Structure 1
């Protein structure tokens, strides 16, 4: 059983990382715009920088791709645990895959280990695992965005709230204590990674110079 558990963990982490490393912002900017989005704006390959640099279509396509790969990574991780170690909660494999999909997006092997900030990848994973939590986070983000027009601040806020909502969700659904601890740790890691990737945004927020959606490029 131990060997099967190790194999399930390794495979879930590997498939998550490899899927995460398919960074749609970079692919779209290179294939359709003959450019690299990482040379513009914030230097990120995420939806916000794609939208700001190339327009709505490129931003929307990037968002869809990033959310989809997060969801697919979760489904595969869940399936691997269900097949190899059915005595464990399949969601544990899903969360492990989600963490590594976010790592792959942030540090993609295919693109020089320089990708995006992982918000939408984590969002796709959350949508696949916890639709109600996803909906709550979207509502919180939209309220913040309507007030401040700052995308990064909304991303940081929902990342910070995610572990709390996750623990509430799984406790409400009667998860075993061991499962609750594992999922709690995974959710904290996911949140910490997203917040860490926004450290330059946090600095600009402190200085009052962070970009507000709709502002002209400086």
Structure 2
């Protein structure tokens, strides 16, 4: 009997070995579909990475293509992240019950986040992953998402610095992941692993904001506004090199 149990446990572990790489691959490929690049090329026949900050994310999409196209970019990024996380849930647990499968959801979120930043389809030059990180937390634990967004809006609305809000909000998430996982009976044993994944995501997000951090320290970071003419409506890249030293980047 004990041998049968050992064999059953081994088969379960073997199944997990195949599931996790599959989740990671699917999520990464979905994440690599960078909506801002696709929208800029389809709608304007231009590459958003040649305009504004050069970042293929939501904030630069709004500044470079206008609010309407920026909202389309946001919708696309939310959709790909949600799809990846739900696929991760289904593959890992075999059902869509959120009582289990948190590991599959978080793994999928981490790799869609990685794909968004380093998209294989677009020369590994993408966004910064803020939006994909946020949506991952929606599906992992909505309470963590609420706390993170509260930090983000508190900082962003009071300072007008989107980058600062993104950085500080992301830095709060690993601790929240650890605390909420420890209080969840189904996730206690996985709390440290979940926290390490969240710490990796936060660390990479902060790293991608390193230029923003320098500008914040030097007092040269520009404040975000929905007003102003979309840069890509002009014929030329509108001094993209100069904008890189001023524009904020997100998503």
Give the TM-score normalised by the residue count of structure 2.
0.80
Q: Report the Cα distance in structure 2 between the residues aligned to 1:7 and 1:185, rounded to whole angstroms.
A: 21
Point out where structure 2 has 5 or more consecutive residues left out of the alignment: 1-10, 229-242, 247-251
Q: Report the Cα distance in structure 1 between the residues aligned to 2:167 and 2:43, rounded to whole angstroms.
A: 30
Q: Secondary structure at the match of 2:216?
A: helix
Alignment of 1:108-187 (within 5 A): 108-187=119-198
Q: Secondary structure at the match of 1:53?
A: helix
1:11 aligns with 2:29: no
- Cα pair 1:48 1:59 within 8 Å, conserved: yes
Q: Which has the larger radius of gyration?
A: 2
Q: Report the Cα distance in structure 2 between the residues aligned to 1:82 and 1:162, rounded to whole angstroms.
A: 24
Equivalent residue for 1:212, pick from 217, 223, 248: 223
Superposition deviation, residue 170 in structure 1: 1.7
Superposition deviation, residue 68 in structure 1: 2.0
Q: Secondary structure at the match of 2:81?
A: helix
- Cα pair 1:70 1:123 within 8 Å, conserved: no
- Cα pair 1:67 1:125 within 8 Å, conserved: no
Superposition deviation, residue 95 in structure 1: 1.1
Superposition deviation, residue 9 in structure 1: 0.9
CA RMSD of superposed structures (Å): 1.8
1:101 aligns with 2:136: no
Alignment of 1:187-198 (within 5 A): 187-198=198-209
Q: Comparing both chains, which one has the higher relative contact order based on Cα–Cα distances under 8 Å and sequence gaps of 6 or more?
A: 2
Q: Report the Cα distance in structure 1 between the residues aligned to 2:85 and 2:190, rounded to whole angstroms.
A: 16
Point out where structure 1 has 5 or more consecutive residues left out of the alignment: none
- Cα pair 1:26 1:36 within 8 Å, conserved: yes
- Deviation per CA, 1:42-74: give whole Å up to 9, x if none: 111100000111111111111121122222211
Q: Report the Cα distance in structure 2 between the residues aligned to 1:128 and 1:28, rounded to whole angstroms.
A: 26
Q: Which residue in the other structure is 1:35 paired with? A: 46
Q: Which residue in the other structure is 2:3 paired with? A: none
Provide the aligned length of Structure 1 versus Structure 2: 214
Q: Report the Cα distance in structure 1 between the residues aligned to 2:138 and 2:206, rounded to whole angstroms.
A: 19
Q: Report the Cα distance in structure 1 between the residues aligned to 2:207 and 2:220, rounded to whole angstroms.
A: 19
Superposition deviation, residue 131 in structure 1: 1.6
Superposition deviation, residue 176 in structure 1: 4.1
Equivalent residue for 1:54, pick from 65, 81, 90: 65
- Cα pair 1:105 1:115 within 8 Å, conserved: yes
- Cα pair 1:66 1:124 within 8 Å, conserved: no
- Deviation per CA, 1:140-184: give whole Å up to 9, x if none: 211111111011111101110011111222222224443111111
